[in-house]
Amino acid sequence: MAIYTRRSTDDEHQPFSIEAQTARLDAYVASQPGWEIAERFTDDATGSTLDRPGLQRALLAAKAGRYDTLLVYRLDRLTRRIRDLAYLMEELEKIDVHFRSATEPFDTSSAAGRMLVQMLGVFAEFEREVLIDRTRNGMERKAARGKWTGGTVPYGYQLDRERDAPAPDLAEAPIVSQIFTSYARDRIGTRTIADKLNQRGIRTRFGKPWSGVTVGNMLSNQVYVGDKVFGDITTPDAHPAIVSRELFAEVQQILAVRGEVGSKRRASNTDYDLTGLITCPDCGQKYIGTSARGRSRIYRYYTCFSRVRYGRHGCNGPRLPADELDDAVLTSLLEVYADSEIISKAIAAERRLRSQRHRHSEEELASVMIEI
């Protein structure tokens, strides 16, 4: 026969450690005449899935004929889902392997025993659902009070265990502030921001290089304005903010414009300067840069995203000659900026941006000195 033991992270309040199960199963087998343990299998994982290494090895060994009875301490050590239990019982029955529990009176070699197993499986699944509900309700109560509900603390914060809430990390918080400012004020895209961070030797919380996806996820995380979000619960000002609400709102507007479809991402590696800035009059999508090769040259166009992806069935919006359109826009901009008042305002705005960059550089220098 074989014994199977399992401990799950949701069993910390129950005396079902693997060592305790093993000791009680050994004692139970010793009390049964003629029983001998041929195989031992164990898992340290949740019972809500069958994708467990120990359980899979137990099934393979059963199919290989290495034992004729599978023994567990309790039914819920095998699984907590009635559907999975039915599958396991069917698989074991196919290969003529019996299933027994050391603490529950059933034997799958009889019809009555198999019926009792199904009934106990229903109660095991009910117990699991009750445990999940209690855990979630407890986490919702913590979230409503602004407390931390577990998981990885976002980059820029460290967990203040005394308050049970995130607190700004002196070394990482300035980097977070720079990321938001670069995206909103300098109009630098997520991939470019990630490249710049990697060039500077800055790594993520896990020591890995930055990616555009990582930066994008950070830019949409409300934790940086001090809010605690858990499911449908949002607790404002639950912990110190790293980013102002005004800057965060500005970033969300830019993300909404750039993130709907790939054509709307203004910060792209392309020589089509108006990509994402022209709206199709037919379907409302944005225009992107395309090209067509002729006999002697390459023709550049701005084409509706829907037409590029789906052809004329997607949209019949006209293609626009890119060279002529770029020249026309440039000429118009030169005429606008010839106004000295506009140039003066642009210079003043640039000076303000440079002042902000200088402040962020000082913050970064301070964080580097802390690390040193």
Q: Which residues are catalytic, by number? A: 8
Q: How far apart are CA 59 and CA 101, in angstroms?
A: 17
Q: Provide the 8-state DSSP code for 110.
A: S
Q: How far apart are CA 289 and CA 275, in angstroms?
A: 6
For the chain, count helices (H), then strands (E): 12, 11
Q: How far apart are CA 3 and CA 39, in angstroms?
A: 7
SS3 108: coil
φ and ψ at residue 11, rounded to 5 degrees:
-110, 20
Between the alpha carbon of residue 307 and those of residues 204, 266, 283, 300, 330, the distances in Å are: 39, 19, 10, 15, 26
Q: First-to-last CA distance in the chain? A: 60
Q: Are 85 and 121 in contact (CB under 8 A)?
A: yes
SS3 214: helix
